[in-house]
Amino acid sequence: MHLKKLIILFLCLCSFAVQSQNEYKRWSDIIRKSDASWFASAEAKKIAENVLLYQRDIGGWPKNIQMQQELTEKQKKDLIALKKTDAETTTDNGATCQEMLFMSRMYAQVKDERYATSFLKGLNYLLEAQYANGGWPQFYPLKKGYYTHITYNDDSMVNILNVIRNIGDETDYYSIKPSKEIVEKCKKSFEKGIDCILKTQYKQNGVLTAWCAQHDEITLAPANARAFELASLSGYESAKIVLLLMSIEKPSPEIVTAVKNAVAWFEKTKITNLQEKRVLNDAGKINDKKMIPTQNAAPLWARFMDLETNEPFFCDRDGIKKKSLDQIGAERRNGYSWYTDAPKEVLKKFPDWAVKNGTRVGASEKKIVNYITVAQDGSGDYTKIQDAVYATPAFPYEKVTIYIKNGIYNEKVRIPEWNTNVVLKGESKENTIITFDDNFSKIGLGRNSTFYTYTLLVEGDDCSVSNLTIKNTSGERGQAIALSVVANRVKVSNCKLLGNQDTLYLSGKDAKQYFKDCYIEGTTDFIFGGATALFENCTIHSIKSSYITAASTPEGTPFGFVFKDCKLTANPEAKDVYLGRPWRIYAKTVFINCEMGKQIKPEGWENWSKPEAEKKAFYAEYNCSGEGFQPSKRVNWSHQLSKKEVAQYSIENILKDKIAKWYFL
């Protein structure tokens, strides 16, 4: 019996080992995604022998090699014979740079000096391959044809510069530390590379725009590559170039100018009326690509754009420009990336970069970059948040960021229904504070006065709020809302929502709202309303004994308020706190994997003098913890979810909407 168990355990371990070995099938994934400890394994050491064999004596490696594949003895002999040659050594498709990273990760775990030597030979190869003007060819030693051009294609030069910079800055990214002489060489090499990038930025009618995938190594002009890769402005390669420039600390005025002009070009050339549809065969491979006209589609950029008109074009192997993807043959149509969304990352990071580097967005540029700064000291575009909201366009196609610098903004702010796609972003959660003191009695507009008491009101769909404190300072004077959200697809993250009764109101027809990493405090019913709302990793703090939630979920709505991985805390005087009561009888509130303090009453829930709610409301918990989690003492009409039931409470199900995964945007 004991032997049988050992055999089963051995088979399981073998199975695990095979599974682990095959987890990443692509060479690049093995390098970047494997755990650090894996590089000390026998499997890693075996692969390292292959990598050493593939490296030529000149220091570079060939491209598109799956180096983890086992070699025959003949293949090993052939590779040894090739080492003295410079056959196909390149930086294209990540070659050389990625093998250097592999050797660094190996050396960090196994102090085999062959790994360090291999890395340093690769570094010397990169330094030797650089042109005097700062650029790099695709192949070195030089190979006849377009391979001699300065190559931004597939991020080749950006990859090299990232390696060179890490060495020059003496970071800990690589485990192998070159000599001071090499470090100084890398610093100069990086400066030359950036200078080359600035000199190759294409001017269109005297205005800086973007870059081509290849530039002539002598004239620096845009250049052709393969027959279907004509000289053009590149939506893909330009994105990584700009991100590299934006990553430079204390950028020069020339770098700032280059970035701003490139961003303006990205805004000008984005495509928002097309969506790529990929048709797959039974094997899961792309059978066909089609561009479908779609209103308000997520932005795309063409890989190739005309140097003078910015119009996208497409080529077959005959090198003849075509205006649409469906005009070229299936082989090139499906075997090449003609569109990209890479510049989205640039546009996402640009607003913060602009503020950090003192490039205030002037009035003439707002329409281009969709960015407005609010600062009380006058250094922004406006001193009041509401004035910035008034300045945002109605129903814009792209996000409009209102960046709020630190300060206490004593104002009542409304983002109207027509101001969709607004990003309200504070400089810091602790020091960017929106505050007002309206309450039910002060408003005095009758029985519905509560809904006018907000400090911040969000009515526009597809808005996000982050890094802010939103506070109603009226104190215990009845209902007083800090944040009111009556819109769909609204995300609130890293915010503090402070108030007493009715701190947070959530509503809107079929509205879905997402709260992540927030601190929310109050007294009575301080999270209330009829929206579907997911709270993740939030702290829910009760100031006194009362009720946390008061949902008014509409009948037939699958989810109401869902709290996942939240922490329920309280002031010392708050000793008897209910999880919730039904504002309307179909209320739904669920707590999953939450930590509940001792302030939570054993019965958990209350019916608000509505006996019918005990049959129609849905209150539930799953796998919670803490002194306040007493499932056996809960009211008998509440529920403890099963493992099968809780599987339905995924973020995808709760916040499902026609806009795919909007909550990650």
Distance CA 87, CA 397 (A): 50
| Rounded Cα–Cα distance for residues 408 and 597 (Å) | 32
Q: How many residues appear in the chain?
A: 665
Among 276, 260, 265, 215, smallest CA distance to 235 is for: 265
Q: How far apart are CA 96 and CA 180, in angstroms?
A: 22
- Distance, CA of 532 to CA of 557 (rounded, Å): 8
The tokens of 73 are what? 């003895």
C-beta separation of 592 from 559 below 8 A: no
What region, left, alpha or beta, does residue 308 occupy, with left being phi > 0 and alpha being psi -120 to 50 degrees?
Answer: alpha
Query: Largest alpha-carbon pair distance within the chain?
Result: 90
Q: Are 442 and 452 in contact (CB under 8 A)?
A: no
- Both tokens assigned to 561: 């308020």
- Provide CB contacts within 8 A for 542, sequence distance 6+: 521, 522, 523, 526, 548, 568, 569, 570, 571, 574, 577, 599
Query: Which one is catalytic: 352, 502, 565, 576?
Result: 502
Torsion sign (Cα): 563, 565, 570, 575: positive
Yes or no: say if 542 and 577 are a contact pair by the CB < 8 Å rule: yes
**Per-position DSSP letters for 217-280, written without gaps between them:** TTT--B---STT--S-B-TTHHHHHHHHHHTSSS--HHHHHHHHHHHHHHHHH-B-SEEEEEEE
Active site residue 525: yes
What is the rounded distance in angstroms from the CA atom of residue 372 to the CA atom of residue 400? 8
57 noted as active-site residue: no
Taking the CA atoms of the chain, what radius of gyration do you get in angstroms? 30
Centre a 10 Å sphere on the Cβ of residue 504 and count the other Cβ atoms it contains: 27
Helices 42-54 and 73-82 sit at what angle, rounded to 10 degrees? 40
Residue 613 makes CB contacts below 8 A (sequence gap 6+) with 582, 585, 587, 607
d(CA 166, CA 168): 6
How far, CA to CA in Å, does 202 sit from each of 109, 209, 266, 394, 526?
44, 6, 13, 33, 56
Q: Report DSSP letters for 174-204, one per residue.
A: SS----HHHHHHHHHHHHHHHHHHHHHSPEE
DSSP 318: T
Q: Which residue has the tokens 């082989």?
A: 331
Residues 617 and 553: their CA atoms lie apart, in Å, by 9
C-alpha distance from residue 141 to each of 60, 119, 158, 185, 370 (Å) = 10, 18, 19, 20, 46
The residue type found at 513 is Q
HSE (side-chain half, CA atoms, 13 Å) at 555: 4
Q: How far is CA 190 from the centre of its chain?
A: 27
Which residue among the candidates 57, 316, 525, 565 is catalytic per the annotation?
Answer: 525
Is the bond into 141 cis (omega within 30 degrees of 0)? yes
Residue numbers annotated as active site: 502, 525
